[in-house]
C-alpha cells in the first residue's frame, strides 16, 4: 500500500516538474512572441484606437455579445464587414451616432447612411443606446486587432502548437514502450517454450531414469478431461451468468438514458453554421443561459433579427416566416402566428432541478462541457448521458470557480484552514453531492 503511494507521489512530482519546466520555457518565450505584433500594430494604429489588451478584450466581449449576429470582421454577413470602417465612414462621430441610433441617422438624410441602408436590403441596425464612444472605440480596437484569415497551411504555427505536439509525443512514447514490452515478453515466452521442449526431449532420451521421474516426463496432459471437469464447467457457468447479469444490469441502466439521441427537427437548423462558422455567441439565441434555470429555445423573433434579410428564399427559413406570420415580400407581420414545435433533445426528469445560470454564469463552465462540440454539429445530439452518476462525478472532480466571487471568500478560507491549503475546493466539498441541491 505504502509503496504504491510513494510511487504515485513520485509520479506526481515528476509530472509537476515537467510542467514547471515547460511553464518556465513558455514564460521566457512569451514576451518575445507578444512584443512582435505589438510593435507592428503600434505603427499602423488608426487614431483613437488602442492596442491595450484590456481594451481589446472588452471590445471582443461587446462584439461577440451584440454584433456577431449581423457583422463579421472581414466578411460581409447581414451587415458590412467591419474591418476598416474607421476609414470608410465619414467620421468617427458618425460611427458613434450610427451605433447609438441608426434610424435617426438614416432619417436625418445622411447620404452615407442612406446609401448603406439601401445597399443592405433596407435592414435596420439595432440601436445600442448604452454604448458610447468608449465602448465603440473598444470594439473598433478589437476589430483592428483581428488579422484577416490566411490560407489554412499557415495556421499550424500558432502558439498552441507546441504543447499540442508535446502531448502527442508523450502519448506515442507510452505506446512505444508498451509495444516493446509486449514484444520482449512474447520473445521470453517463446524462448522458455523452446527450452522446455529441448529439456523434455533430452530427458526422454535418457535411459536411467527413476520410475516416478519417467512418469513425470511422459505425462501427457489430457485436455478433454480437463475441460469436462466439474470445476471448469462450474467456472464457465459462473462467468457466463455473471457476464449476462452484468450486461442485463448495464442494459437496465440505459433505460431512459438518451445519450446520442439525435431527433430530426422541424426546421433544419444547423449549429455548425451559426455557432461554428459565424461564431454567434450561444447567449445571443439562448437568452436564458446566464440568467435562468432554462437556457431557452430561442423564440422566432430572435431568428428574424437576421433572417428578415438573410437567406430569405430558403424553404427552411420560410418555415420561420410561416410561424411568425411574416411576409417577405411586403416585410410585414401578421397576427396569425403558430409556435414552432421543436423536439426536445435533453430530457432531464422532472424530479431533478438543473439551473443553467448556476453552471454558466457562476461556475463559468463552457457550454461544450455538457453539450459537446456543438459548433461542429449539423444536427444536435445529446452528447452527455445526463445520468445522475454523470452529474455526481463532475461535482466530485470539478473545482469550485471561486475566483473573484465574494460569495465564496469565507468558504475558501475555511477550506484552506481545514485541508491545509493542499487540495482545491471541489463542488463536493461545499455540499454539491447533497440530495436537496437538485431534488426538491
Partner 1 sequence: MKETKKVYWKGLEQLTNNIEFVKNADKEFPDHLPINEDDDQGPSRRDFLKMMGFGIAAASLVACETPIRKAIPYVKKPIDVDPAVPNYYATSYHVGNDYNSLIVKTREGRPIKVEGNSFASMNGGGTTAQAQASVLSLYDKERLATPRIGGEKATWSDLDDKLSAELSRANKITVVSYSVFSPSTEAALDQFKAKFNNVEHVMYDPISSHGELAANEASFGKRALASFDYSKAKTIVSIGADILGNHHSHALNSKQFAQTRKLGKGKKEMSRLYSFESNLSLTGANADYRTRIKPSEEGLYVANLYNLIAGKVGAAKVNVGAVADKEKLTKAAGDLLHSKGRSIVVSGSNDKNVQLLVNAINNLLGNYNQTIDINKSVNLRKGDDAQMNRLVGSLKNKSAGAVIFFNCNPVYDHKDGAAIGQSIAGIKTTVATNDRMDETSSLVKYNAPDHHYLESWNDFEPIKGVFSFSQPTISNIFDTRQAQESFLKWSGNFSSYYDFLQERWKSNNAVSKFPNFQAFFDNCLFEGHFEEEVASEGLVYNDTISSVSIRGAKSNGLELVISESSTLGAGFQGNNPWLHEMSDPITKACWDNYVTVSAQWADDNNIELGHMTTQLADLTVNGTTVKLPVIVQPGQAEGTIGINLGYGRTKAGKVGNDVGINAYPFIQSVNGANQQFVSDVTLKVTGEPYKVAVTQTAETYSGRSFVIQESVLKNYVEDPYAGRHQVEITDAAGNKKSPNAVTLWQGHSYNNHHWGMAIDLNSCTGCGSCTIACQVENNIPVVGKKEILNGRSMAWLRIDRYYSYDEESVTEDTGFIDALKIKEKAAANPEVVFQPMMCQQCNNAPCETVCPVAATTHSSEGLNQMTYNRCIGTRYCANNCPYKVRRFNWFKFHDNEQFDKNTAMNNDLGKMVLNPDVTVRARGVMEKCSFCVQRIQAGKLEAKKESRRPVDGEIVSACASSCPSEALVFGDMNDPQSRISKLLDIKKEEKRVEAQEPRAFHALEELRVMPNVWYMTKIRNKDEESKKEHQA
CA dist 293 and 348 (Å) reads 12
User: H or E segment at 28?
Assistant: helix 2-44
Cell, residue 174: 507510452
Binder to partner 1 among 97, 103, 296, 305 (CB under 8 A)?
A: 296
Contact between 113 and partner 1 per CB under 8 A: no
Minimum distance from residue 278 beta carbon to partner 1 (Å): 21
Determine if 387 is a binding residue for partner 1 (CB under 8 A). no
299 forms part of the interface with partner 1 (CB under 8 A): yes
- The three grid cell numbers given for residue 221, joined into one nine-digit string: 496432459
Residue in the structure block whose three cell numbers are 489554412: 152
- Is 396 near partner 1 (CB under 8 A)? no
Contact region for partner 1 (CB under 8 A) — 9-17, 95-103, 231-239, 333-341?
333-341
Minimum CB distance to partner 1 smaller for 64 or for 357: 357
CA distance 346 to 262: 10
Question: Can you tell me which of 80, 276, 288, 372 binds partner 1, judged by CB under 8 A?
Answer: 288
DSSP label at residue 332? E
Residue 302 binds partner 1, judged by CB under 8 A: yes
Contact positions with partner 1 (CB under 8 A) in 254-283 = 255-256, 258, 263
Q: Which of 370, 349, 351 is nearest to 295 (CA)?
A: 370
Q: Over 164-187, what HEC string results?
A: HHHHHHHHHHHHHHHHHHHHHHHH
* Window contacting partner 1 (CB under 8 A); options: 66-74, 157-165, 228-236, 251-259: 251-259
Cell of 252: 437496465
405-424 residues near partner 1, rule: CB under 8 A: 405-408, 410-411, 414-415
Q: Binder to partner 1 among 31, 172, 334, 431 (CB under 8 A)?
A: 431
CA 89 to chain centre: 38
Q: Does 291 bind partner 1 (CB under 8 A)?
A: yes
Task: Indicate whether 249 belongs to the interface with partner 1 (CB under 8 A).
Answer: no
The answer to the question of residue 293 lying near partner 1 (CB under 8 A) is yes
Among 49, 275, 323, 427, binds partner 1 (CB under 8 A): 323
Integer Cα distance of 96 and 91 in angstroms: 9
Considering only residues 68, 262, 287, 312, which one is a binding residue for partner 1 as defined by CB under 8 A? Answer: 287
What is the SS3 assignment for 110? coil
Least separation, in Å, of the C-beta of 291 and partner 1? Answer: 6
Q: How far apart are CA 73 and CA 58, in angstroms?
A: 16
**Count of residues binding partner 1 (CB under 8 A)?**
54
Q: Does 342 bind partner 1 (CB under 8 A)?
A: yes
Q: Does 437 bind partner 1 (CB under 8 A)?
A: yes
Minimum CB distance to partner 1, residue 271 (Å): 15
- Mark the segment that binds partner 1 (CB under 8 A) among 27-35, 184-192, 237-245, 284-292: 284-292
* 54 vs 30: CA distance, rounded Å: 18
Instruction: Provide the grid cell at 150.
Output: 490566411
Joined together, the cell numbers standing for residue 192 give 522458455
* Residue 228 engages partner 1 in binding (rule: CB under 8 A): no
Q: What is the largest CA-CA distance in the chain?
A: 121
Instruction: State which of residues 362, 365, 379, 392 lies at the interface with partner 1 (CB under 8 A).
Output: 362
CA distance linking residue 196 with residue 207, whole number of Å: 19
Q: How far is the CB of 364 from partner 1 (least distance, A)?
A: 11
Among 113, 91, 116, residue whose Cα is nearest residue 104 = 113
Cα(401)–Cα(362) distance, rounded to whole angstroms? 7
* Shortest distance in whole angstroms from residue 320 CB to partner 1: 10
Burial class of residue 318, CB neighbours in 10 A (0-12, 13-18, 19+): middle
Q: Indicate left, alpha or beta for 305 from its phi (over 0: left) and psi (-120 to 50: alpha).
A: alpha
Is residue 357 a contact residue for partner 1 (CB under 8 A)?
A: yes
Nearest to partner 1 of 80, 288 (CB atom)? 288
Residues that bind partner 1 (CB under 8 A): 255-256, 258, 263, 287-288, 291-294, 296-302, 323-324, 337-344, 347, 349-351, 353, 355, 357-358, 361-362, 404-408, 410-411, 414-415, 430-431, 434-437, 439-440
Amino acid at each position: 500500500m505504502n509503496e504504491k503511494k510513494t510511487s504515485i507521489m513520485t509520479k506526481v512530482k515528476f509530472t509537476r516538474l515537467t510542467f514547471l519546466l515547460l511553464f518556465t520555457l513558455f514564460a521566457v518565450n512569451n514576451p518575445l512572441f507578444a512584443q512582435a505584433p505589438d510593435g507592428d500594430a503600434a505603427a499602423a494604429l488608426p487614431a483613437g484606437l488602442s492596442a491595450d489588451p484590456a481594451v481589446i478584450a472588452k471590445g471582443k466581449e461587446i462584439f461577440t455579445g451584440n454584433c456577431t449576429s449581423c457583422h463579421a470582421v472581414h466578411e460581409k454577413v447581414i451587415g458590412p464587414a467591419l474591418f476598416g470602417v474607421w476609414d470608410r465612414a465619414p467620421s468617427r462621430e458618425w460611427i458613434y451616432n450610427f451605433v447609438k441610433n441608426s434610424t435617426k441617422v438614416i432619417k436625418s438624410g445622411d447620404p452615407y447612411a442612406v446609401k448603406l441602408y439601401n445597399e443592405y436590403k433596407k435592414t435596420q441596425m439595432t440601436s445600442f443606446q448604452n454604448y458610447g464612444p468608449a465602448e465603440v472605440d473598444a470594439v473598433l480596437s478589437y476589430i483592428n486587432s483581428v488579422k484577416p484569415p490566411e490560407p489554412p497551411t499557415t495556421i499550424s504555427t500558432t502558439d498552441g502548437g507546441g504543447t499540442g505536439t508535446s502531448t502527442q509525443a508523450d502519448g506515442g512514447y507510452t505506446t512505444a514502450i508498451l509495444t516493446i514490452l509486449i514484444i520482449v515478453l512474447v520473445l521470453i515466452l517463446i524462448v522458455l517454450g523452446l527450452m522446455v521442449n529441448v529439456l523434455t526431449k533430452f530427458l526422454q532420451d535418457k535411459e536411467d531414469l527413476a520410475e516416478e521421474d519417467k512418469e513425470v516426463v511422459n505425462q501427457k496432459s489430457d485436455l478433454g478431461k480437463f475441460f469436462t471437469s466439474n470445476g471448469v464447467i462450474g467456472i464457465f457457468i459462473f462467468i457466463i451468468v455473471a457476464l449476462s447479469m452484468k450486461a442485463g444490469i448495464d442494459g437496465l441502466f440505459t433505460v431512459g438514458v438518451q445519450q446520442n439521441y439525435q431527433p430530426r427537427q422541424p426546421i433544419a437548423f444547423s449549429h455548425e453554421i451559426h455557432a461554428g462558422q459565424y461564431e454567434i455567441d450561444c447567449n445571443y439565441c439562448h437568452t436564458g443561459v446566464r440568467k435562468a434555470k432554462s437556457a431557452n429555445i430561442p423564440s422566432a423573433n430572435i431568428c428574424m433579427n437576421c433572417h428578415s434579410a438573410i437567406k430569405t428564399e430558403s424553404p427552411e427559413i420560410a418555415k420561420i416566416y410561416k410561424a411568425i406570420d411574416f411576409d417577405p415580400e411586403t416585410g410585414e407581420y401578421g397576427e396569425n402566428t403558430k409556435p414552432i414545435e421543436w423536439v426536445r433533445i435533453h430530457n432531464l426528469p422532472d424530479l431533478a432541478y438543473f439551473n443553467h445560470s448556476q453552471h454558466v454564469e457562476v461556475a463559468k463552465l463552457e457550454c461544450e462541457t455538457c453539450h459537446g462540440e456543438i459548433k461542429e454539429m449539423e444536427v444536435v445530439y445529446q452528447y452527455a448521458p445526463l445520468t445522475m452518476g454523470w452529474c455526481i462525478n463532475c461535482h466530485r472532480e470539478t473545482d469550485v470557480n471561486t475566483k473573484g466571487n465574494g460569495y465564496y471568500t469565507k468558504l475558501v478560507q475555511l477550506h484552506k484552514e481545514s485541508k491545509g491549503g493542499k487540495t482545491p475546493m471541489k463542488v463536493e466539498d461545499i455540499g454539491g453531492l447533497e440530495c436537496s441541491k437538485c431534488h426538491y
